[in-house]
Structure 1
Amino acid sequence: MTVRSGHPQRRGRSLFFMAVLLILGCLAGRLYWVSPYVASYDIANFTLAVGQYDLANLQPHFPGYPFFILLATGLARLGLDPVRALGVVSTLGFASGLIPLYLLFKRRRFDAVRLLAAFTVVSTASLVVLSATGMSDGLALGVLCWFVWSVERARQGHFRLLPYLLFGLLMATRLSYAPFGIVLLFLLWQVRRDHWQLVSEFAVLLLAQLAWLLPVAFSVGGPASFAQLSLSFVTGHFSDWGGTAQTDEATLLERLGLTIKQMVWHGLGFATWIGLGSGLFLFCQRLRSFPLWWSVTGTGYFLWVWVAQNIDKPRHVLPLVLLLVVLLVRRLSVRWFVPFLCIQLLIGSIALYQQATTKPATIQLAEAITGLPASATIFTDEEERQFLMARPDATIVPIGSVSKWRAEPKSQEVYLTGRLLKRLQAADVPIEVTEVFRFTSDPRFEPEDAEARLYKLKLNEEVPR
Structure 2
Amino acid sequence: MSISARYLNFRCRISLLFLVCLLLRLCFSGKYLDSCDSIDFALGLRDYDLSLLQPHFPGYPVYIFISGLFFKLLHNDVWALALPGVLFGSLSVYPLSFLARRLFSEKVATLTAMLYLINPLCWLQAERPTSDALGFFFIMLSAHYLYQALTSHARTIHAVPGEAHCNTAIRKARQKKFRVPKTLMRSFAPRVWCGDRNLFLGSLALGVGLGVRLSYSPFLVLWIATVFAVRKRPCRIAALVWRLRGLAVGVCLWFLPQIGYTGWRAFFQNGFSFSRGHFTDWGGSVFTSHGLERVASFIKSVWVFGLGGWWYDTSCLRLVPSLIIAISLFCFFRNYPFDRREWFLGVYGVPYLLWVILGQNVANPRHLLPLMPMLCMMIAYGLCKACERGCKGVSLVFILLLTFCMAVTSLKLVIKYCHDVPAPIQLIRFLERHSNPISSRIYCSNEERFFDYYVPQWDVRTVRNRTELQRDVLSSLETPQQILIVHSPGEIEQFGVTRPPTATFQGNPYADSAREGLLLYTLTEW
Quick check: 1:363 aligned with 2:425?
Answer: yes
TM-score, reference length from structure 2: 0.76
Residue 313 of structure 1 is matched in structure 2 by 364
Quick check: 1:348 aligned with 2:402?
Answer: no
| Kept after mapping to 1: 8 A contact 2:200/2:244 | no
Quick check: 1:250 aligned with 2:290?
Answer: yes
Per-residue deviation, residues 425-457 of structure 1 (Å, max 9, x unmatched): 45xx65677622101133122264341111122
How many angstroms does 1:120 deviate by?
Answer: 2.2
Residue 142 of structure 2 is matched in structure 1 by 147
AA in 1 matched with 2:508: D
**Partner secondary structure for residue 361 of structure 2:** coil
Residue 127 of structure 2 is matched in structure 1 by 132
Identity of aligned residues (%): 24
**Partner secondary structure for residue 435 of structure 1:** coil
Q: 2:250 aligns with which of 200, 203, 208?
A: 208
Quick check: 1:282 aligned with 2:328?
Answer: yes
TM-score, reference length from structure 1: 0.85
Residue 224 of structure 1 is matched in structure 2 by 265
Alpha-carbon distance in 1 for matches of 2:227, 2:15: 37
Residue 417 of structure 1 is matched in structure 2 by 486
Residue 161 of structure 1 is matched in structure 2 by 200
| Matched positions, count | 447
**Alpha carbons of 1:242 and 1:401: their partners in 2 closer, same or farther (altered >3 Å)?**
farther
Quick check: 1:408 aligned with 2:408?
Answer: no
The 10-residue stretch of structure 1 (265-274 or 47-56) with the greater mean CA deviation from structure 2 = 265-274
Which ranges in structure 2 are unaligned for 5 or more consecutive residues? 154-194, 388-395, 474-478
How many angstroms does 1:340 deviate by?
Answer: 2.7
| Kept after mapping to 1: 8 A contact 2:108/2:380 | no
Q: How does 1:3-42 map to 2 (within 5 A)?
A: 17=12, 20-21=15-16, 23-42=18-37
| Kept after mapping to 2: 8 A contact 1:433/1:457 | no
Which ranges in structure 1 are unaligned for 5 or more consecutive residues? none
**Alpha carbons of 1:199 and 1:53: their partners in 2 closer, same or farther (altered >3 Å)?**
same
| Kept after mapping to 2: 8 A contact 1:263/1:320 | no
**Partner secondary structure for residue 417 of structure 2:** helix
Q: 1:72 aligns with which of 67, 76, 93?
A: 67
AA in 1 matched with 2:423: A
| Kept after mapping to 2: 8 A contact 1:40/1:449 | no
AA in 2 matched with 1:293: F
How many angstroms does 1:278 deviate by?
Answer: 4.1
Alpha-carbon distance in 1 for matches of 2:346, 2:94: 22
**Alpha carbons of 1:14 and 1:53: their partners in 2 closer, same or farther (altered >3 Å)?**
same
Alpha-carbon distance in 2 for matches of 1:58, 1:390: 16
| Kept after mapping to 1: 8 A contact 2:277/2:283 | no
Per-residue deviation, residues 167-206 of structure 1 (Å, max 9, x unmatched): 1111111111111111112122131675724444335433
**Alpha carbons of 1:401 and 1:176: their partners in 2 closer, same or farther (altered >3 Å)?**
farther
Alpha-carbon distance in 2 for matches of 1:118, 1:237: 34
Per-residue deviation, residues 70-91 of structure 1 (Å, max 9, x unmatched): 1111111111521122111112
| Kept after mapping to 1: 8 A contact 2:67/2:84 | yes
**Partner secondary structure for residue 134 of structure 1:** coil
Per-residue deviation, residues 330-353 of structure 1 (Å, max 9, x unmatched): 464383545433332222222211
**Partner secondary structure for residue 443 of structure 2:** strand
How many angstroms does 1:238 deviate by?
Answer: 4.2
Alpha-carbon distance in 1 for matches of 2:207, 2:467: 40
AA in 2 matched with 1:216: Q
**Alpha carbons of 1:292 and 1:112: their partners in 2 closer, same or farther (altered >3 Å)?**
closer
Residue 435 of structure 2 is matched in structure 1 by 372
Alpha-carbon distance in 2 for matches of 1:118, 1:209: 29
| Kept after mapping to 1: 8 A contact 2:204/2:250 | yes
**Alpha carbons of 1:205 and 1:150: their partners in 2 closer, same or farther (altered >3 Å)?**
same
**Partner secondary structure for residue 177 of structure 1:** helix
Structure whose alpha-carbon radius of gyration is higher: 2
Alpha-carbon distance in 1 for matches of 2:285, 2:486: 16
Alpha-carbon distance in 2 for matches of 1:456, 1:48: 30
Query: What is the CA RMSD across the aligned residues, in angstroms?
Result: 3.3
Alpha-carbon distance in 2 for matches of 1:401, 1:227: 31
